[in-house]
Structure 1
Amino acid sequence: MEIGLPTSDKMDLNMDQDCCSSNSALVNASQLSASSKDDAYRGGLLKIGTEFEPDEHAYRIYNKYAKVVGFSVRKDWLNRSKVHGLVVSRKFTCSKEGYRRKDKRDLNVKKRQKETRTGCLAHMIVTRQPDGKYRVTHFEAEHNHDNIDPNNADTQLLQRELFVDQAAKADLSSNSGTESSSTYGLMNRRIEVCQSLDYLAMDFENSLRSERVRDMKEGEAGRLLRYFHRQHIENPSFIHGIQVDIDDKVSNIFWADDKMVVDYDHFGDVVCLDTIYRTNKDLQPFVQFMGVNHHNQAIIFAAALLFDDTVESLKWLFNTFLEAMSGKKPKVILTDQDAAIAEAVNSILPETSHRICVWQMYQNVLKHLSHLVKDIESFSSDFRSCIYDSNYEEAFVHAWEGLLDKYGLQQNEWLRWMFREREKWSMVYGSNTFFLDMKGSHVVEDLSNNLRSYLNSDQDALQIFKIFERVVNEQRVKEKHANDEMTRCMPRLPGNVVLLKHASAIYTPMAFEIFQKEYEKCLNVVVSQCNENGFLLEYKVNAFGRTQKYTVTINSTDDTVVCNCMKFENVGFLCGHALKVLDDRNIKMVPFRYILKRWTKDARLGSDGAESGTGDVLIIAHRRGINGSSSCSF
């Protein structure tokens, strides 16, 4: 039997009525904080008293928990009733529980198998209750070993059966046909914990005080919500939020999964809000929160459909995003040029640096200056050069004025307004602000364009969501391939350079490529002057054959170094100017305070609750040697 969801876009969510006394705008099965995964599950989805039906559901949920935290599960003992043969109790453990049994035959074996067990005590025991449900009666979250990489957890042998079994269960549950008598049209209501669907209680304002701006197609909301329900069963950590308008019609929809939450915890220092639908009003109003991982690949933190994009709705979007990400705010958010977005960001993210995303600004160029882009081939390249190729304010202003003169645009109102707002988008005004470098901006742009190529005006919300899922999975496969390549190979180094050996052992290959370019620049940097002022040494440097000088200041007591080009502050790598000064001071390894964990091979390992990004130096880098071993080079 089909779940009794309405075919209209009224927000009557029948699927939740059995376990929720009222409804929440943010339905979140685990509200997972990657910085404290065990505590999140201990206090939420997995804890003593949590109930499952049947016992295999408990196994699936524990597997999902293991996948997120980063370990593999083994089925331990099982007790069956002698009366009816049903499972009375059973235990699931970490795969590293216990130790391998000694075998006398091993005495004659020269090369023994490596010991993989550590006597880990992490486990969960469920016991059958009189009502037929299985309750968690013992739960130990602590492990006595380093967890494996969550990215590779799905390759563990005991995880392979999870997805097929989950899919079958989802189909059964989706036909249960529960009844409902409530809507989502209430504000500040709190749902009760629903053990059967593993929802968490949450407070949130979820209703607009006006009608939505755009209409949904007939039955569109019901199909999407039915799909979300199946996602909750298949993936208990799936998160979605709903906002309705004054008529209880679905206005805005937000979603993210557990992997996105973990990604954001590691790489959420810079977030780009991609509002691609603004370039084509015929498209569905799709929005995504994006960033860049340690391989300089685009990743997606969350997505939304905004059928109402007023200031009120945008505030709801940012609030919902923060709720899903355990309240962690980005250091920088890049958005389109829009007054409503700016007001919402200032209201909800006042401490976050708000900048205009340059590549989204270029999309506005296509709209406001389409005649030039279409008719004059050189305009696009000249405009991009003006934006990306200027390293300091004087050069940028000169290039901008030259662009206006060349194409007769001195009186263009949009460009005049753009210049007044230049401090929000031009990179030369981004000192002390950590944001994406040009390549990082381009990979985000490429991902956005890739998704846009799949979208058209005939698609409904569910079709868009499935396309989005496919794109997300493609990006995750790319990261897995990059991780595999990183494990197998080390960069081919130009000679026996200690600094490069050190950096190549710590940085991911893509990050090392950025660092190596700065090192190569350093070889052509000339020191023209050095002034001493107490503990501070001030160097004047310039590239050989160039007149532009940079000031590098270093503290002789602790070797902290600052360059006025702000390369480290902007993208997280020491510039060639600073490397030249460090070399002049006979410092042959990258100081660990200047190695950001987000660019390292260990970016995803461990989490102590500290923020990733510009303030998150590599603490575990000392474990790596500077020589490293590899099976191949590139």
Structure 2
Amino acid sequence: MRIHVPSNVPMESTPFKGMEFEADEIAYGFYNEYGRKASFSIRKEYVNKCKKIGMVTSRRFVCAKEGVRGKDKRDQNVKNPRAETRCGCEARLVIILNRDSKKYVMSEFIAEHNHYLHLPSTVHMMPSQWKVAVTHAIEIDLAHESGLRLKQSYELLSKQVGGYDNLGFTKQDHKNYLRTKRQRDMEHGAAASLGRYFSHQLKENPSYYFATQLDCEELITNIFWADARMIIDYSHFGDVITFDTTYSTNRDARPLGVFLSLNHHSEIVVFGGALLYDETIESFVWLFETFLEAMSEKKPITIFTDQDAAMSVAIKVVMPKTYHALCIGICDEFLTAWNEMLDKYDVRENKWLIDLFKLKEKWAQAYVKRTFTAGMKTTQLSESFNADLKDCLRTDLNIVEFFTHFETVVNQKRDKELEAEYNPRQKFPRLNLKSSPMLNQVATVYTPKLFDLF
């Protein structure tokens, strides 16, 4: 058996018999640090406690390769058995409590190992060195809430400290930390976790609005929420809105609905969100009634949606005077062009086209131009926002993580608005007619986007 003795370890970091420690955990930390510098992993082997005094009386810390794995009767049936990690190494450190001084004294120390020691560049991979520090935990949380994938987050943290070996934990530790955090967040169940999330939001801002619909078994079916900023924005820009549902790919697979519009900078503004149990008339009626309640019963002039029959019925019930528009066509001579198309392709008996024509008042420009649309023509606004939400809809997110990511996307949109507020104060529009009093006046009143349109 070849003996390997750690070298290049400073004397002040090397254990010796008679060394004293204030606590057994301090002794463990000292030996673990010695193991890091000597390039071997350690573990706790046994502990003796005195029930009478309620203290640890002795403890042994050993090399992680101490002992041998016990024989398992199942080994012969396992196709790919785990690799051996122990080889009977006898390196160890033993401490005993001095009952007079209440300190722990090192009674035994064996430095020799019967195996190769690790390379200094791989020390961070040793199990006893795996530890996510508090500062790193905060950064992991922030990266996760910002939508960074685990691989991206781990790469970012390693670059901040000059490499993986300086990080102090592996990618698996990173993954385990997030898994434990998820379990802790959801330890009381989805409904209770959601309740705590909304309670926190209300505490931060009493104007935060949320509502849940329960079924006959008192289980949450539909959820609607809007923060104070969304409610204020709706009072300014809620005359024309778009609403769309997309099947989310988070673990609950619930349809996600978002109320959107454009602000005075032609930037997307969010008025509220909903997670629905289904897409029935009853669910949409509850949602639209709840939305209007949150918005002080102010009904939009126009609402754009996709061609969902249940949604259409619900809009008629809840907002009968609101114009319901679908995707708008571009043909001015609509009827002539429509008939020419039917004849050209011989599709006058096509049922889909017949049904679509019955809805022409909702999508053909010749009809929709009679109502106020604030320049919006399609539900493309929703499609654009849904694309930004893709990280919120990952299958590995629980309900609380979903809301956190949704907040991030909304805040990104609000940052865009701040940029749009900054730019006209920093840059002045170019006037084709600099002597025009009217252009000079509206250039100071309109936002750049609307001034260009004017």
For normalisation by structure 1, the TM-score amounts to 0.39
Structure 2 CA distance for aligned equivalents of residues 441 and 512 of structure 1:
24
1:102-113 equivalence runs, <5 A: none
* Higher helix fraction (1 or 2): 2
Q: Which of 423, 428, 436 does residue 485 from structure 1 map onto?
A: 423
The equivalent residue for 2:189 is 219
Q: Is the 8 A contact 2:424 2:448 kept in 1?
A: yes
Task: Report the residue type matching 1:326 in the other structure.
Answer: S
The equivalent residue for 1:393 is 334
The equivalent residue for 1:327 is 297
Structure 1 CA distance for aligned equivalents of residues 388 and 348 of structure 2:
35
The CA deviation at 1:485 is 0.6
Q: 1:441 to 1:489 in 2, by over 3 A?
A: farther
Structure 2 CA distance for aligned equivalents of residues 281 and 393 of structure 1:
45
CA RMSD of aligned residues (A): 3.1
The equivalent residue for 1:471 is 409
Uncovered stretches (5+) of structure 2, i.e. residues with no partner: 1-186
The CA deviation at 1:470 is 0.9
Q: Is the 8 A contact 1:423 1:429 kept in 2?
A: yes
**What's the secondary structure of 1:490's corresponding residue?**
coil
Structure 1 CA distance for aligned equivalents of residues 241 and 428 of structure 2:
30
Structure 2 CA distance for aligned equivalents of residues 498 and 399 of structure 1:
48
Per-residue deviation, residues 181-204 of structure 1 (Å, max 9, x unmatched)? xxxxxxxxxxxxxxxxxxxxxxxx
Structure 1 CA distance for aligned equivalents of residues 424 and 313 of structure 2:
42
Q: Is the 8 A contact 1:241 1:254 kept in 2?
A: yes
Q: Is the 8 A contact 2:250 2:395 kept in 1?
A: no
Q: 1:247 to 1:427 in 2, by over 3 A?
A: same
Structure 2 CA distance for aligned equivalents of residues 331 and 232 of structure 1:
30
The equivalent residue for 1:311 is 281
Q: 1:488 to 1:329 in 2, by over 3 A?
A: same
Per-residue deviation, residues 157-192 of structure 1 (Å, max 9, x unmatched)? xxxxxxxxxxxxxxxxxxxxxxxxxxxxxxxxxxxx
Q: 1:309 to 1:394 in 2, by over 3 A?
A: closer
**What's the secondary structure of 2:247's corresponding residue?**
helix
Q: Is the 8 A contact 1:273 1:334 kept in 2?
A: yes
Task: Report the residue type matching 1:456 in the other structure.
Answer: R
Q: Is the 8 A contact 2:264 2:450 kept in 1?
A: yes
1:497-516 equivalence runs, <5 A: 497-515=436-454
The CA deviation at 1:432 is 2.6
Uncovered stretches (5+) of structure 1, i.e. residues with no partner: 1-216, 359-386, 516-634
**What's the secondary structure of 1:242's corresponding residue?**
strand
Q: 1:443 to 1:342 in 2, by over 3 A?
A: closer
Q: 1:250 to 1:400 in 2, by over 3 A?
A: farther
Give yes or no for the alignment of 1:260 onto 2:198.
Answer: no
Q: 1:493 to 1:355 in 2, by over 3 A?
A: same
**What's the secondary structure of 1:485's corresponding residue?**
helix
Higher relative contact order (CA 8 A, sep 6+): 1
1:517-528 equivalence runs, <5 A: none
The CA deviation at 1:329 is 1.0
Per-residue deviation, residues 319-357 of structure 1 (Å, max 9, x unmatched)? 11111111111111112222221221111111211122x
The CA deviation at 1:431 is 3.3
Structure 2 CA distance for aligned equivalents of residues 319 and 344 of structure 1:
9
Q: Is the 8 A contact 2:334 2:366 kept in 1?
A: yes
Q: Is the 8 A contact 2:256 2:275 kept in 1?
A: yes
The CA deviation at 1:506 is 1.9
Per-residue deviation, residues 458-487 of structure 1 (Å, max 9, x unmatched)? 433323222211111000000011001122
Structure 1 CA distance for aligned equivalents of residues 252 and 351 of structure 2:
27
The CA deviation at 1:390 is 2.2
Give yes or no for the alignment of 1:425 onto 2:363.
Answer: yes
Q: 1:508 to 1:432 in 2, by over 3 A?
A: same
Quick check: which has more Rg, 1 or 2? 2
1:368-447 equivalence runs, <5 A: 388-394=329-335, 397=338, 401=342, 405=345, 412-438=350-376, 442-447=380-385
Q: Is the 8 A contact 1:284 1:461 kept in 2?
A: no
Q: Is the 8 A contact 2:250 2:396 kept in 1?
A: no
Give yes or no for the alignment of 1:241 onto 2:211.
Answer: yes
**Which range is displaced more, 307-316 or 276-285?**
276-285
**What's the secondary structure of 2:261's corresponding residue?**
strand
Structure 2 CA distance for aligned equivalents of residues 439 and 430 of structure 1:
9
Q: 1:307 to 1:440 in 2, by over 3 A?
A: closer
Q: Is the 8 A contact 1:289 1:300 kept in 2?
A: yes
The equivalent residue for 2:111 is none
Task: Give the number of aligned pairs.
Answer: 268
Structure 1 CA distance for aligned equivalents of residues 311 and 282 of structure 2:
10
**What's the secondary structure of 2:444's corresponding residue?**
helix
The CA deviation at 1:280 is 11
Structure 2 CA distance for aligned equivalents of residues 395 and 472 of structure 1:
44
Q: Is the 8 A contact 1:273 1:288 kept in 2?
A: yes
Structure 2 CA distance for aligned equivalents of residues 313 and 424 of structure 1:
22
Identity of matched residues, %: 40
Q: 1:240 to 1:338 in 2, by over 3 A?
A: same
Q: Is the 8 A contact 2:334 2:364 kept in 1?
A: no
Structure 1 CA distance for aligned equivalents of residues 196 and 243 of structure 2:
27
Structure 1 CA distance for aligned equivalents of residues 286 and 410 of structure 2:
24
Task: Report the residue type matching 1:472 in the other structure.
Answer: V
For normalisation by structure 2, the TM-score amounts to 0.53
The CA deviation at 1:311 is 1.8
Structure 1 CA distance for aligned equivalents of residues 362 and 442 of structure 2:
33
The equivalent residue for 2:140 is none
The CA deviation at 1:394 is 4.4
Q: Is the 8 A contact 1:290 1:299 kept in 2?
A: yes
Q: 1:441 to 1:347 in 2, by over 3 A?
A: closer
Q: Is the 8 A contact 2:330 2:364 kept in 1?
A: no
The equivalent residue for 2:174 is none
**Which range is displaced more, 269-278 or 292-301?**
269-278
The equivalent residue for 2:246 is 276
Q: Is the 8 A contact 1:388 1:438 kept in 2?
A: no
The CA deviation at 1:400 is 5.1
**What's the secondary structure of 2:389's corresponding residue?**
helix
Q: 1:423 to 1:457 in 2, by over 3 A?
A: farther
Q: 1:256 to 1:328 in 2, by over 3 A?
A: same
